[in-house]
Copies of this chain bind each other. A is one copy, B any other.
Amino acid sequence: MTSPFVRKLRQGAQLSTEDEILLMGLSRSLHYAEARHDIYSEGDRPGSLTLILKGWACRDKILENGQRQIIAFFLPGDLCEPFGILPPFMNHSITALTPVTYARLRPDELRAMAQENSSIEQALWWDALAAMELQHEHVVSLGRRQAVERLGHLFCELHMRLAVVGLADRTGFSLPVTQQELGDALGLSAVHVNRSLRELRSLGFVNLRHRRLDLLDLNALKEFSLFDPAYLRFNGQPLHDGAWSAPSAVER
C-alpha cells in the first residue's frame, strides 16, 4: 500500500519504484496528535517538517478577539510546509481536526534527496506550487464568492484532493469536521454554513450527515460553484523539463 504522499506526488512527476521507496523511507519518525490538539502552536520553533499520514489537520490562527480563521486544510499526504522551508518560529498553529498520524521530516534530508534525484526534486517543487495555488484560490473564495459558492467550491476541491490519495470516490467522502470549522475556513458563521448546506441539499447537489458528504450530482455542483480544477495541478503534463532539471542533475 503506497503512502498518500507518494500517491499525490505522482501527480507532479514520473516517479520510479526506487523514487517511491526513497520517499516512503522519509516517514520514519511517526507521531500522533489527538483531535483538537495542536501539532505546533504559535511561538513554537519547529525542528522538522510535518507530513500528514492519516486524519485531517489545519493551519489556523486565533485573533485577539477570539475569532478563528482556518488558513488551510491538511489531508493525508499533505506537507504542512513546502519542502525546503522550516520557519524559525510559528506565528499560527497547526491543529489536528481529527486524530492525526504524522511524520516529522528533516528539511535538510529532503533537500539533499531533491538535490540527488531530479524526479523527486520536480515532485517536491510541484507540491509546493500546488500548495501555493490552493492558497490563491482560497483568497479568491473569501474575497469574491458568496457563501453557497464558497461551500460548494470547497467540497469540489476536497473531493479531488481526497480522490487522488484514494479517500474519495464518486459517491462522496468522509468529511470529519464540524460546521463551525467549515465556517472558520470559509469566513462564515456556523449558522450560515448550516443554511448554505441546506441550500446545496435542496438543489440536489450534496447531502452532509454523520460526517459524510454524499455527492448527489457532482457535475452540477462543479458548474454551480464555478469550480475549475486547473489550480490543483492534477493529472497535468509534468512541469516542463528544460527549465526544471538542474544543470548538473542527470537522471538515468
| A195 close to chain B: CB less than 8 A | no
Which of the 9-residue segments A2-10, A33-41, A107-115 touches chain B? A107-115
Beta-carbon contacts under 8 Å, A53-94 to B = 59, 61, 63-65, 67-69, 71, 82, 84-89, 91-92
Q: Mark A98-130, 1 if CB is under 8 A from B, else 0.
A: 000000001110011001000000000100110
Name the contact of A107 in the complex, choosing from B59, B187, B244 (C-beta under 8 A).
B244
Number of A positions contacting B (CB below 8 A):
60
Establish whether residues A108 and B245, one from each chain, have CB atoms under 8 Å apart when the complex forms: yes
Name the contact of A86 in the complex, choosing from B184, B226, B239 (C-beta under 8 A).
B239
Closest-by-CB residue of B relative to A60 is B140
Establish whether residues A91 and B133, one from each chain, have CB atoms under 8 Å apart when the complex forms: yes
| A217 close to chain B: CB less than 8 A | no
Closest-by-CB residue of B relative to A45 is B240
Residues on A facing B (Cβ under 8 Å)? 45, 47-48, 59, 61, 63-65, 67-69, 71, 82, 84-89, 91-92, 106-108, 111-112, 115, 125, 128-129, 132-133, 135-136, 138-140, 142-145, 184-187, 226, 228, 230-231, 236-240, 243-248
Could you tell me the distance in whole angstroms from the C-beta of A128 to the nearest C-beta in chain B?
6
Note all chain B residues with C-beta closer than 8 A to A239: 86-88
Note all chain B residues with C-beta closer than 8 A to A144: 63, 67-69, 187
Establish whether residues A84 and B128, one from each chain, have CB atoms under 8 Å apart when the complex forms: yes
Establish whether residues B133 and A132, one from each chain, have CB atoms under 8 Å apart when the complex forms: no
Closest-by-CB residue of B relative to A59 is B136
Note all chain B residues with C-beta closer than 8 A to A59: 136
Note all chain B residues with C-beta closer than 8 A to A231: 91
Establish whether residues A186 and B139, one from each chain, have CB atoms under 8 Å apart when the complex forms: no
Establish whether residues B187 and A125, one from each chain, have CB atoms under 8 Å apart when the complex forms: no
Establish whether residues B140 and A139, one from each chain, have CB atoms under 8 Å apart when the complex forms: no
